[in-house]
Structure 1
Amino acid sequence: DSMEIAPDLITAALDIVASEGGGHVHWWVFEPNNIHRQLAHNAGLASGRHLVQMRRSLPLSDEQLAHAADFVTKPFRTGIDEDAWLAVNNAAFNAHPEQGGWTRDIVAARQAENWYNPEGFLMHWDDSSLSAFCWTKVHRDTEPQMGEIYVIAVDPLHAGKGLGRRMTIAGLAYLAKQNVPHAMLYVDADNAAAMSVYTSLGFTTHHRELAFVGDVAAK
């Protein structure tokens, strides 16, 4: 049984990390349960980031699309918009473990991926100031094919204006035009505001993923 050998596998993995100089480890678990939590506890790992993958079918209804009928977005201009985007992203995700603190090098690495398409990187400007964005990704190699809201955020200076909802609708409308039947996104389980917006737009929970984390000393 896999659960019987799991403690040995976890110990072996942590030993490898220790032998390579130690460091901070993440053990991601799909649909975590109490057995996983006990295994993590026994290994000295604590619960970390808790993600919810949400999905909905496409396209949106006409009623939903009407909420963003006059909402204007423009595609990301590669080589021009990086600094403006970084400023908004890093302000919106200040102290976020993965999305905060991005640099031009990180952006360039994402732009080099074969899925990158600036047409699906939607920007909403307030005059010359970027106020919100929705970066999408199309997964052609999944069954069914899936459109993902990869990163979405509103400049904190523009919070409370309903931009997050309209930006989400704009992203979903773009994905529907790519002829993918379903949309998905990941959201932190403790982000009640975002969960509420996504639920109101027809997203439902597909599955949960939990990271057990800890620091491993070098041996």
Structure 2
Amino acid sequence: MPDFAYDPPDTPLQILHEDAAILVLDKPAGLLTVPGKLENRQDCLITRLQAARWDALTVHRLDCDTSGVIIFARTKQAQGFLGQEFEHRRAQKTYIARVHGRVEGDSGTLDLPLASDWDYRPRQKVDPAGRPAQTDWQVIDRGETETRVRLTPHTGRSHQLRVHMLALGHPIIGDQIYAPETSRLYPRLMLHAETLSLHHPTTGDRVTFTAPTPF
């Protein structure tokens, strides 16, 4: 698969919430969460954030092409606590996506194991021998040629939402990897992390953060 051109957006940080333990941001599409392996991929969200908040620590990632809610820790203790929230699936996320075609039915669950497609990295694929992956989907709105859906992943596999929607027959619009025929007409991947809900590392209370969908 050809290497993608990395041209991160020159946009200011969008901080949704900050306190002594956490930082919550709205990540723009086209920006890596952490530095890439290649020299020209050092510009990323954590680097930009640490320039403004030196104590920011990575907890989880969003795909480069995905926008939306992402949380960082400000102490090692908070980082460990939040890591456990994700590892034990106490963190809950919802995404908004625009997908190709008219989705039949109003909701459903995709339970399809995923594995790396080693011949076409970084692609992932449905594989009976892969790791378990579950995604709930719900239709929000339908157009003539596309459908807007809310996606709720119950696992955090790489490219999970993108591969699951492809397997459903409705790839996410603007996906350069899994639906390149749609990416020529759209400026970005139409996938946005809308909400993130988890327990606060200091208070233990459940908190929910939301970033408005930009498309």
Is this a same-fold pair by TM over 0.5?
no
Larger radius of gyration: 1
Q: TM-score, normalised to structure 1's length?
A: 0.31
TM-score, structure 2 length as denominator? 0.31
More contact order relative to length (CA 8 Å, sep ≥ 6): 1
